[in-house]
Amino acid sequence: MKQNLQVNQENTSQEVKEYVPSQIEMWKFYWQFIKIDWYILIGLNCQWLIESVLHTRAPFLLLNIKDQLLNIDTQNYDLFFWLIVEFVATHIILQFFSFIQVKVTNRTSKMVQQNIQKQIVDHLFTLDIHYFEENKATSLHQIILQGSEQIGKEIQYGRIFQKINQFIYFASRAYFIYIQNVFIFISIAVVAFICVLLQQYFTKEKKKIEKINSKICEFESFALDEILNNMMLIKTYCKEEKEKKNLEKIMQKNRDSRQKTLIYQQIISMIQSCSHEMMKIAVICHAFYYYLHNTTQHQGNLNNQNNFQQQILSRNLGEIISNTYCILFLVRDFIQIINKSTDDFYENRKKHIGKVMNLFKVKSSISQEKVYESQNGEILEGEITFDNVCFSYPARENKLTQDYKMIQDQRVADQTNISNLIASKEINSNSLQTYGVLNKLSFKVNPGECVGFVGASGCGKSTIVKLIERYYDTSQGAIIINGKNIKDVSLQALRQNIGLVHQEPQFFDNDIEYNVTYSLEGNYTQEQLNKVLEISGVNEFILDKNRFPLGLKTLIGNKGVKLSTGQKQRIAIARALIIEPKILILDEATSALDAESECSFQKYIEKIKSYEKMTIIIITHRLSTIFNCDKIFVLQSGTIIEQGTHQILLQKNSIYANLVKCQLKQNNQDQNLSLAHKDSVETNDSLF
Ligand SMILES: Nc1ncnc2c1ncn2[C@@H]1O[C@H](COP(=O)(O)OP(=O)(O)OP(=O)(O)O)[C@@H](O)[C@H]1O
């Protein structure tokens, strides 16, 4: 059982790593996206078949025309005329096909891309919430857009046929040269092979450096980000010079690495141009050999030597031109095909596809059938029991931060070769430590009770909420709601019965009404809405016609930027209440409310407690919010160390009582401060 859970945790905590799949892996993966559209497939097949035949025939046709031209006086003109017509028609058809191809390719590419995007998004929706906690929205965004685009490009029909066509095109040219002069073909193949080998070697070396380079670039931007984000801290501790020096060192390494890449790039392009030149020379040498050979062979047999030599010369010159043309094409294609599998563009494409492949490897810890299983609409009573619950977060691996830390460590040790560091720094994920956040935590909340959780920062209060919502599963022990282990309740039923307000709630870039009634999808009455607006205190600000002339229809902007933190929290509270939950969880939900609003909120809690049987869990640092709770749990290092009502806990005169004293002292200090401030302002005023 424990092992199973561990496996699940490993699966669900997988980060979106950089992974370059092999071509075979990619093709296996593509298979699940390939949707065969028979009409397009048959149409394209026919088109490419004809196109391939035409491509194969075109050079022979040109040769025939040339032969006819050389013997124009003896040959019939009709044949010559029809050859010209065939030649022109062939090229018109090929142009037309290339036009069609662009259209079909674009269309299929779009279709395939949309289909893939949908499948990626569908898969994302099946993942557990904590996957989104652990992965940045921007990187997921990138995977959806760029990943689908790259897969789309690879498996669109156009591309598949392009590849087949390229092969046929290549084979037809190779055959053409072979029957013209086999030695040309062999020598070109040898030259091309050597050049390509050299090129590949240097490309690999260049890539190694580029890899290091891109890492250093990342470090550089990361270091820069760190400095910009912590400028206040740096200035507070006067560490400007230290940070400047650190940044300069990273920048210098970046410059050195770039320089090396540049040298390799120059060598590669030199080989490229050299290979072309060498091939041209090989072609010309062979052509001259061929010419001289033919001339001596025919010299003794012909009477009209001058005339024949002219013919041979023109014939051979024609062949030289057409052969050179074909060979250059062949070699260019050959080099391009080999290069394509190694160049950066293809490597990047593979990386994008690798990210999507990785994403599909991540599976939810909860079976998808269980999410929306038949208990849909089931009403849970608000009884919650934690029975010896242990929990630790799956180890999180923030690779960039670790790499950056290692760079800093290395800097301290003053080891200069950054490449060695990167190569030697294979992070062993097994070595990452996990630690217990909740340790044998047990408590019981009865239906309709209002309980408060208090404790020092980091003691595990919010973690309890995450477990109740089943963002994570417990490592040991059980959480029982309604007499059932929450692992046996469908996720939908569980979450439909819980109204949760986070400290930093999320919002859609829409109006207030949309955000408040989001969960009800339009199925609510005005009365319902008014009730929650009143209770949560949203009415207090939206009825202010000067600031909110559109009232509920006021747009709140991206992530609710147009609202204050307090206003956002009130909207979030209204949103949680409108589903009439059996359990209401307020995780630091009133931290941004002013004292007055908080007071009215407490009155509201009293109100719902009296007529709706709702279990309320309040997690807070403001102890005044939980004075009236039926039960207060004091947490320390993931276990409950005290519990009881406010009065009982005060009488105990232990940890809770100390917390209350500390907070009262703090409040008094704040009050004195504000009074002192008020006095000083008044004194200053009187001075004037
Ligand atoms: N997603 C996470 N991955 C790894 N560790 C986490 C994660 N979330 C929280 N933690 C760690 O778990 C511990 C408990 O966190 P939790 O948020 O439950 O504390 P808390 O009592 O609610 O604190 P606060 O009062 O400051 O909100 C902390 O030490 C925190 O660093």
Residue nearest to atom 26 of ligand 1 (CA): 457
Q: How far is the CA of 636 from the centre of ligand 1 (A)?
A: 13
| 451 — pLDDT class (breaks 50, 70, 90) | very high
Element of type H or E holding 587:
strand 583-587
Q: Is the pLDDT of residue 15 over 80?
A: no
Find out whether the beta carbon of 459 lies less than 6 Å from any atom of ligand 1: yes
Cβ contact 20:347 at 8 Å: yes
Residue nearest to atom 6 of ligand 1 (CA): 393
Burial string for 351-386 (b: 16+ CB within 10 Å, else e) reads bbbbbbbbbeebbbbbeeeebebebeebebbbbbbb
pLDDT at residue 324, as a whole number: 53
pLDDT digits (tens, 9 = 90+) for 625-660: 888 888 999 998 889 998 998 889 888 888 888 888
- Predicted complex: ipTM over 0.90: yes
Find out whether the beta carbon of 396 lies less than 6 Å from any atom of ligand 1: yes
pLDDT at residue 332, as a whole number: 59
> Average pLDDT of 170-197?
67
Q: Is the pLDDT of residue 312 over 50?
A: no
pLDDT at residue 686, as a whole number: 36
Find out whether the beta carbon of 591 lies less than 6 Å from any atom of ligand 1: no
Q: Is the pLDDT of residue 672 over 90?
A: no
Q: What is the sign of the dihedral through the CA atoms of 543, 547, 552 and 557? A: negative
Q: How far apart are CA 524 and CA 531, in angstroms?
A: 11
pLDDT digits (tens, 9 = 90+) for 207-225: 777 777 777 777 777 777 7
Find out whether the beta carbon of 458 lies less than 6 Å from any atom of ligand 1: yes
| 179 — pLDDT class (breaks 50, 70, 90) | low
pLDDT at residue 503, as a whole number: 79
Ramachandran assignment for 676, one of left (phi > 0), alpha (psi -120 to 50 degrees), beta (any other): alpha
- CB atoms inside a 10 Å sphere around CB 54: 17
Pocket test for ligand 1, best of 386, 462, 500, 626 (most atoms within 8 A of CB): 462
pLDDT at residue 601, as a whole number: 62
> Average pLDDT of 282-309?
54
| 249 — pLDDT class (breaks 50, 70, 90) | confident
Q: Is the pLDDT of residue 99 over 90?
A: no
pLDDT at residue 612, as a whole number: 65
Q: How far is the CA of 461 from the centre of ligand 1 (A)?
A: 8
Find out whether the beta carbon of 475 lies less than 6 Å from any atom of ligand 1: no
Q: How far is the CA of 464 from the centre of ligand 1 (A)?
A: 10
Q: Is the pLDDT of residue 133 over 50?
A: yes
Query: What CA–CA distances, in Å, run from 219 to 169, 214, 296?
Result: 46, 9, 70
Q: How far apart are CA 385 and CA 637, in angstroms?
A: 19
**Nearest CA-CA partner of 464 in 438, 425, 486:** 438
Pocket test for ligand 1, best of 437, 441, 663 (most atoms within 8 A of CB): 437
Q: Is the pLDDT of residue 197 over 50?
A: yes
Cβ within 8 Å of residue 10, ≥6 positions away: 394
Cβ contact 68:80 at 8 Å: yes
Q: How far is the CA of 483 from the centre of ligand 1 (A)?
A: 28
What stretches of 160-279 adopt beta strand conformation (E)? Answer: none
pLDDT at residue 608, as a whole number: 63
Residue 258 or residue 232, greater confidence: 258
SS3 content of the chain, % helix, strand, coil (to 5): 70, 10, 25
Q: How far is the CA of 630 from the centre of ligand 1 (A)?
A: 25
| 520 — pLDDT class (breaks 50, 70, 90) | confident
148-162, 579-593, 604-618, 672-686 — most confident range: 579-593
Find out whether the beta carbon of 472 lies less than 6 Å from any atom of ligand 1: no
pLDDT at residue 668, as a whole number: 66
pLDDT at residue 452, as a whole number: 92
Q: Is the pLDDT of residue 370 over 70?
A: no
| 479 — pLDDT class (breaks 50, 70, 90) | very high
| 415 — pLDDT class (breaks 50, 70, 90) | very low
> Average pLDDT of 509-524?
86
Residue for token pair 């561990």? 6
Q: Is the pLDDT of residue 148 over 60?
A: yes
Q: How far apart are CA 62 and CA 65, in angstroms?
A: 5
242-246, 460-464, 559-563 — most confident range: 460-464
Find out whether the beta carbon of 463 lies less than 6 Å from any atom of ligand 1: yes
Find out whether the beta carbon of 437 lies less than 6 Å from any atom of ligand 1: yes
Cβ within 8 Å of residue 195, ≥6 positions away: 271, 272, 274, 275, 278, 335
pLDDT at residue 2, as a whole number: 38
Q: How far is the CA of 462 from the centre of ligand 1 (A)?
A: 7
pLDDT digits (tens, 9 = 90+) for 522-581: 788 888 888 888 888 888 888 888 888 888 888 888 778 888 888 888 898 888 888 888
Pocket test for ligand 1, best of 12, 128, 459 (most atoms within 8 A of CB): 459
Pocket test for ligand 1, best of 461, 464, 636 (most atoms within 8 A of CB): 461
Residue nearest to atom 4 of ligand 1 (CA): 393
> Average pLDDT of 409-432?
43
Q: Is the pLDDT of residue 185 over 60?
A: yes
| 395 — pLDDT class (breaks 50, 70, 90) | low
Residue nearest to atom 9 of ligand 1 (CA): 463
> Average pLDDT of 415-421?
44
Residue nearest to atom 2 of ligand 1 (CA): 393
Question: Which percentage of the chain shows pLDDT scores above 90?
Answer: 5
- CB atoms inside a 10 Å sphere around CB 663: 15
Task: Please give the model's pTM, rounded to 2 decimal places.
Answer: 0.63
| 470 — pLDDT class (breaks 50, 70, 90) | confident
Q: Is the pLDDT of residue 77 over 80?
A: no
Q: Is the pLDDT of residue 464 over 90?
A: yes
Task: Give the position, in ligand 1's atom list, of the atom nearest the Cα of 133.
Answer: 1
Find out whether the beta carbon of 578 lies less than 6 Å from any atom of ligand 1: no
Q: How far apart are CA 229 and CA 227, in angstroms?
A: 5
pLDDT at residue 617, as a whole number: 92
Question: Which percentage of the chain shows pLDDT scores above 70?
Answer: 63
Find out whether the beta carbon of 133 lies less than 6 Å from any atom of ligand 1: yes
Residue 407 or residue 665, greater confidence: 665
Q: How far is the CA of 17 from the centre of ligand 1 (A)?
A: 24
| 75 — pLDDT class (breaks 50, 70, 90) | low
Pairing between strand 583-587 and 438-445?
Answer: unpaired
Q: How far apart are CA 301 and CA 425, in angstroms?
A: 77
Find out whether the beta carbon of 600 lies less than 6 Å from any atom of ligand 1: no
**Nearest CA-CA partner of 283 in 204, 183, 212:** 183
Find out whether the beta carbon of 209 lies less than 6 Å from any atom of ligand 1: no
Element of type H or E holding 387:
strand 384-391
Residue nearest to atom 10 of ligand 1 (CA): 393
* Structure tokens, 425: 């720094």
pLDDT at residue 443, as a whole number: 92
Q: How far is the CA of 301 from the centre of ligand 1 (A)?
A: 99
Q: How far is the CA of 432 from the centre of ligand 1 (A)?
A: 17
Q: Poorest-confidence range of 269-283, 332-346, 418-432?
A: 418-432
